[in-house]
Homo-oligomer: A and B are copies of this chain.
Amino acid sequence: MLDARFFKALCDPNRIALLRRLAECGRPCTVTEMSECCPACVSVVSRHLAMLKEAGILTAEKRGKEVYYSVRSPDLATRLRDMADAIEGCCRDGAAKRQE
C-alpha cells in the first residue's frame, strides 16, 4: 500500500511540476511540450516522465514520432484515497487493540 517507488517518483520538484502541468493541461502532451515548462533539457524530462510512468502515475501512448503522456487520474486518486483509508484504519485498529 505504502509503496516507496510511488513516493520516490514524486519526491523530485521537477517531476511534481511535470505532473501538475500535465494535470492542468487536461490533455495528453508530448515530451517536447512538457520540456518547455521545465528548466531541464529534453533528455532529462524524458527520463522523469518514464519514471512517473513506471510508478503508475502516468500513461504513455506512442503516436507516430511522438509519445503522448497523460495522468492516470482515476487510478492515482484511488491509490491516494486507499492510502488515506489504510492509515486511518490502521491507527484506529491499533488504538482499539491497545484499549482491550
Interface positions of A (Cβ within 8 A of B): 2, 4, 7-8, 10-13, 16, 19-20, 23-27, 71, 73-74, 76-78, 80-81, 83-85, 87-88, 90-98
Give min CB distance, A63 to chain B, whole Å.
17
Give min CB distance, A99 to chain B, whole Å.
9
Q: B26–A91 contact, CB under 8 A?
A: yes
* Closest B residue to A10 using CB positions: B7
Count copies of this chain in the complex.
2
* Closest B residue to A5 using CB positions: B11
Considering the chains assembled together, what is the distance between the CA atoms of A20 and B93 in angstroms?
13
Q: B16–A2 contact, CB under 8 A?
A: yes
Q: A77–B85 contact, CB under 8 A?
A: yes
Considering the chains assembled together, what is the distance between the CA atoms of A23 and B10 in angstroms?
22
Q: Which B residues are in CB contact (< 8 Å) with A94? A: 23-27
Give the one of A16, A23, A83, A91 with max B CB within 10 A: A91
* Closest B residue to A77 using CB positions: B84
Considering the chains assembled together, what is the distance between the CA atoms of A42 and B76 in angstroms?
35
